[in-house]
């Protein structure tokens, strides 16, 4: 890579490079691109893709409660209630 390409990449990445960085980046980028080439050359034809599909691990409710079905039983167990609400101590 030449200096113009490095400056163009730096502009795209919104990087401000020093002259020293501009001089060292071509070699470093060439090393990175060589490594990427090595990775793309690896034969993966016998590697099987994993199935990462989502499954539901929660059990189905056998008999879901209707909204408010247990309200009276819960309210009767509380020491203090007010207008069908549970009354508690202030916490803040």
CATH number at residue 21: 1.10.20
Residue position matching structure tokens 């993966």: 44
Domain housing 36:
3-40
**Residue-level pLDDT at 7:** 92
Segments of 1-92 assigned E as strands: 81-82, 85-86
On whether residue 61 sits in a domain, the answer given is no
Q: From CA 43, how far away is CA 86, in angstroms rounded?
A: 65
On whether residue 9 sits in a domain, the answer given is yes
On whether residue 31 sits in a domain, the answer given is yes
Q: 22-39 burial, b if ≥16 CB within 10 A, otherwise e?
A: eeebeeeeeeeeeeeeee
- In sequence order, which residues have a C-beta less than 8 Å from that of residue 30 and are 6 or more positions away? 1
On whether residue 86 sits in a domain, the answer given is no
* pLDDT tens for each residue of 21-69: 999 988 998 899 999 999 999 988 888 888 788 888 888 877 777 777 8
Q: The whole model's pTM is what?
A: 0.43
Total domains in the fold of the chain:
1
On whether residue 80 sits in a domain, the answer given is no
On whether residue 60 sits in a domain, the answer given is no
On whether residue 78 sits in a domain, the answer given is no
């Amino acid at each position: 890579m030449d200096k113009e390409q490095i400056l163009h990449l730096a502009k795209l990445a919104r990087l401000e490079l020093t002259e020293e960085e501009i001089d060292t980046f071509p070699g470093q980028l060439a090393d990175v691109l060589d490594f990427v080439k090595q990775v793309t050359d690896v034969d993966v034809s016998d590697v099987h893709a994993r199935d990462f599909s989502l499954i539901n691990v929660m059990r189905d409710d056998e008999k879901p409660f209707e909204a408010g079905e247990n309200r009276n039983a819960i309210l009767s167990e509380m020491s203090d209630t007010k207008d069908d609400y549970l009354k508690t101590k202030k916490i803040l």
